[in-house]
Amino acid sequence: MQTTFCAAVLAAALMASACSTAPGVVAPIVPAEVGEVRAGSGRLNGYLSQDELPDSLALLPPPPAQGSLALAADGEAYRALTALRDGPRGALAAKDANLRFPQAASTFSCALGVHISEQATPNLNMLLRRTLTDAGLATHKAKDKYRRTRPFVVFHAPTCTPADEAHMREDGSYPSGHSARGWAWALMLAEIAPDRGDALLQRGRAYAQSRGVCGAHWKSDIEAGRLIGSTVVARLHDKALFKVQMAAAKDEIIQARARGQVPPVADCAAEAAAMALSEKLAP
């Protein structure tokens, strides 16, 4: 299965779709109204129920087999990407690994050209928080089935997030949950801010690629994660509440631009320079 091709097709379809709203539906912006997946986790409930999540086990092929060309490509990508871990690209990868809010809210601020926060853009912030859960949960069936060993374990190497290594050793590598989340975010944001579409999709690719820079995921994990992220966003477009929140987030972006609510120029220049270091590397 050509996961990158499938993801690209889904991305194009989603960007062409209209963000329609449902009369009478109001999207909550207060976390307490949404509730957490697990009390104290900070992870809010998503828009999709467990039964509505895409089936990653049905959608994905098994991870590359021992001795295959695909596994050899995984190894080549690992060596190329982790060579950047100790520089500015590694620092960006470590930042991308953090899924906690409010820190994670700023991930796409530079690509969007708008500062994202719970206070300034509450609907956009809520959109990111809830879809983080949807995209992450959608990877679990395949993760639990294959329980693939992560590359940093195979190569006995450090990652850019040492505090996470114990957990990652127990958590399956295929597909990448971070990649699913980042690509889902990129697709949604590109739909509601099409004038920034290229920059947002490039940031989504770099966000997923950061997992390779960290040594936390194989190339094929990242590609599979992007496919799952695409299917989640496609599924979300059947949810009235999601579409309402998308429309409200689009209005917030317009208002934020009018107020000059932009991220720091120096921060965005540093991010762009770091991304350029791995731009020509797979995946």
Catalytic annotation, residues: 178, 211, 217, 221
d(CA 80, CA 97): 19
- Alpha-carbon dihedral sign for residues 267, 184, 207, 44: positive
Structure tokens belonging to residue 257: 């631009």
What type of residue is 126? M
For residues 189 and 75, is the Cβ–Cβ distance under 8 A?
Answer: no
- Alpha-carbon dihedral sign for residues 61, 52, 107, 99: negative
For residues 213 and 84, is the Cβ–Cβ distance under 8 A?
Answer: yes
- Which stretches does DSSP call E strand in 29-129? none
CA gyration radius, the chain: 18
CA distances to 184, 220, 222, 225, 238 from 54, rounded to whole Å, are: 13, 19, 17, 12, 13
d(CA 84, CA 159): 11
- Is the omega angle on the peptide bond into residue 151 within 30 degrees of 0, that is, cis? no
d(CA 110, CA 267): 8
Helices marked H in the chain — which ranges?
3-16, 31-34, 56-59, 69-82, 88-96, 109-112, 122-137, 140-146, 151-154, 165-170, 177-192, 197-213, 219-236, 240-258, 265-276
